[in-house]
Structure 1
Amino acid sequence: MASHDNKQRYRLAWTAALVAVAAVGLGVAAHAGMPIGNRNVPQPAKVVELNRYLGTWYEFGRYENLFEKNCDAVTAQYSLLDDGKIRVVNSCRRDGGKGETKVSEGKAIVQPDSGNAKLKLSFFGPFYFGDYWVLDHADDYNWAIAGEPSGKYLWILTREAVPSAELAAQLQSRAIELGYDASLIRLTRH
């Protein structure tokens, strides 16, 4: 009986490993076809005070990606969990922000020695694959610019759904200063 249980555990572990490898492979394949908008992604400019970064963010603009394709009215909500991880709830609406709301929930862990500016994300169970770097933020945390090391992803976030024209121009300029190709930025409608 114990031998049968061990074989069954082995098969389950092997199956889980194959599923994980397949998921990573699909992610890499999808990621490979995306344009690189920044070939020299800088290290984060500032330390992030997690308690000030938590809360609701509105996406002002982004590099288009498969998981947000045709999404508008995009928000991200960050909250601290009892185990020290960060709960991440992303939502968006398709059809120009008028369609059905799509919600993705995941977790993030802060990378050691990063000043809380580098996170690893997971939306698919216990595996933390995705990089999320807070590259810069306002001193009062009313805006943030996030990316990751490949230069294929960019998110420009604000605390208000529709920032002032002055702030909008400032954010686009700051993204360019960080090395991002402004022609790839897709502005988000709210």
Structure 2
Amino acid sequence: MRKLCVMLMAGLTALLGGCSGVPAGVQPVDDFQLQRYLGRWYEIARLDNRFERGLSRVTAEYSLNDDGSVKVVNRGFDAEKGKWRQSVGKAKFAGADDVGQLEVSFFGPFYASYIVVALDREHYDYALVSGYNKEYLWLLARKPQLPQATIDRLVAKARAAGFDTDKLLFVEQAAE
């Protein structure tokens, strides 16, 4: 029985460890400034995932917790059910605090990668974010819409890194 428990724990650890790290061909931004990244972001596009399936008007709000970690509030409208859905989690740096590589958790002690791949360095107006593998990708902006030229540039960057950008879903956002 003890051997079975050890094997199960080792398997669970290996499985969860697979949710962190950086996918091949992806590089987190350096000179990342968390204070400038905090606040509300609108989801412009994403690769479909089960956590957000069917949601529109998706936003992510980042703020500091008392312990220095980042409070993450993801919110989206589920038109089929006619109501808002929200998830609250927390994020922390995966390494140096000036590199755009964080780990985020919505489920207790289980963390997954949150990698800022591209960022508007001047104004922090847009970001391209990857997960631990190339099945997770988000294009975020400070406003509900983003100029098409910026979208095209970020999509091209994601495609060059090996993401299947043909599967991007562009999120319906309410105009401000």
Match of 1:180 among 153, 156, 163: 163
Q: Alignment partner of 1:131: what SS?
A: strand
RMSD of aligned Cα (Å): 2.6
Q: Which amino acid aligns with 2:118?
A: D
TM-score, scaled relative to structure 2? 0.79
Q: Which amino acid aligns with 2:30?
A: K
Quick check: 1:72 aligned with 2:53? Answer: no
Q: Alignment partner of 1:104: what SS?
A: strand
Q: Name the structure with the higher strand share.
A: 2
CA offsets per residue over residues 126-179 of structure 1, 9 Å max, x none? Answer: x04211111110112100011123211001101110112222222222322333
**What residue number does 1:136 align with?**
118
**What residue number does 2:27 align with?**
43
| Structure 2: gaps of 5 or more residues | none
Structure showing greater radius of gyration is 1
Q: Which amino acid aligns with 1:172?
A: V
Match of 1:171 among 134, 154, 161: 154
Distance 2:25 2:89 in 1: 24
Distance 1:183 1:86 in 2: 32
Distance 1:123 1:148 in 2: 14
Q: Which amino acid aligns with 1:137?
A: L
Aligned length: 158
TM-score, scaled relative to structure 1? 0.74
Q: Percent identity?
A: 32
Q: Name the structure with the higher helix share.
A: 1
Match of 1:90 among 74, 91, 96: 74
Conserved in 2, the CA contact under 8 Å of 1:64 and 1:185? Answer: yes
Q: Which amino acid aligns with 2:39?
A: G
